[in-house]
Amino acid sequence: MRPFTYFGVADGVGSWREYNVDPRDFSRRLMEECQNILVEASQNGVADGIKFRQVIAPATLMAQAYERVKSENIIGSSTACVALFDSIRHQLHFSNLGDCGLIVLRHIDSDVAGSLKRNRDLPRSERKSDLRLAFVSQQQLRSFNHPFQLGWTGSEIGKDEKTSFKSAKESCTSSIHVRRGDIVIMATDGLFDNVDVDDIQQIALEWEQKNGFIQGGDIGAREHRWQMGNSLSGISSERIADLSQLLCERARENSVNSEVDSPFAVLAKENDIMWSGGMPDDCTVLAIHVVGRDPNDLMDKPNL
């Protein structure tokens, strides 16, 4: 088990094409330098999260990578979200700048959810699932569809100049407790602009059901399986990329659909901007499944 796992996404700002700059250069290099820094921080020279001389906070990691990108004089800008999962303390620490972000999906049984989390729309007998949104990260926007970002023009921008550029220390930084069975989705705005949260939840539930993590909408069977010492961790490791792929495909499908308003279109109209259908954009999705494997768990058969 890895005590610390880092992951992140970055989204280059497309308007740089007007200046003959490839928007991908800055974002890709930013993530590459994050990886390089982690490799250098590991004792064995491999960024596997097993042994680190020091644990680097996500905002610090983002800031150090940003300085390296600037020193290489790579022109461009990017939104970014970087996270650290501490499996020992069950904590997810993250820093988000701009309109990337992450959500946490959790099966919340109404019998123990409390009044704030309880689903009051349908009686329990009619509910298909208790998979719900447990957390959503905060975006930082200068205005609608104009996110704050890390950027470099080739020279420093004066303090009095109006700009969307921000430093990593100004990112939304927070920590949340994650639980066994949680699904964490980190993505660029290409996902959240085109796929409603309810649809993300449904896609995640279908993925769980297909792979045997959930039978129907009942978490009772999952609890029993856990008590038997079976996390299905092997299956989770093999199939979690499928969930990312499914979400990307849905985002792509919705982005070119002109008949149904996307979340982006709904927000646009709330800001007095006439927009219909989806928002064509590239999309990166990372899906994380918290299996909570017990050290003595050696079984990975879906029927156990």
The answer to whether 22 and 16 are in contact (CB under 8 A) is: yes
- Domain identity same for 257 and 212: yes
* pLDDT at position 220: 83
Q: How far apart are CA 141 and CA 185, in angstroms?
A: 20
23, 143: one domain: yes
Query: Confidence band (pLDDT; 50, 70, 90) for 251?
Result: very high
pLDDT in tens, 18-28: 999 999 999 99
More confident residue, 218 or 244: 244
Are both 112 and 13 inside the same structural domain? no
The C-alpha angle with vertex 222 and arms to 219 and 225, in degrees rounded to 5, equals: 155
Structure tokens at 59: 């905002």
Arithmetic mean of pLDDT, 15-43:
94
| pLDDT at residue 76, as a whole number | 97
Read off the pLDDT of each residue in 267-286 and give the average, rounded to a whole number: 94
Whole-number pLDDT of residue 47: 46
Burial tier of 278 (Cβ tally within 10 Å: 0-12, 13-18, 19+)? buried
Structural domain including 261 reads 103-135+180-304
Determine the average pLDDT of the residues in 133-154. Answer: 93
Same domain? For 112 and 44 the reply is: no
Q: How confident is the model at residue 157 (pLDDT cuts 50, 70, 90)?
A: confident
What per-residue confidence (pLDDT) applies to 216?
72
H or E, element range at 135: strand 131-136
Better-predicted residue by pLDDT, 62 or 123: 62
pLDDT at 124: 55
pLDDT higher than 50, residue 48: no
The answer to whether residue 302 scores a pLDDT higher than 80 is no
Residues 6+ apart with CB under 8 A from 95: 57, 58, 59, 62, 81, 82, 83, 168, 171, 172, 173
Q: Do 159 and 287 have their domain in common?
A: no
Same domain, 161 and 240: no
pLDDT of 127 reads: 58
Same domain, 129 and 240: yes
Q: In this structure, are 215 and 203 located in the same domain?
A: yes
Domain total in the chain: 2
Q: 226 and 123 in one domain?
A: yes
Same domain for 120 and 206, yes or no, is yes
Q: Each residue of 69-111: pLDDT tens digit?
A: 999 999 999 999 999 999 889 999 999 999 999 999 999 876 6
Stronger pLDDT, 93 or 1, i.e. the higher one: 93
301 has a pLDDT exceeding 50: no
Whether residue 149 sits in one domain with residue 28: yes
> pLDDT tens digit string along 191-239?
999 999 999 999 999 999 999 999 876 788 898 889 888 899 999 999 9
Domain match, 154 and 46 both: yes
pLDDT at 112: 57
Find the mean pLDDT for residues 126-142.
85
Dihedrals φ, ψ of 14, to 5°? -65, -25
Residue 219 and residue 105 in contact, taking contact as beta carbons nearer than 8 Å: no
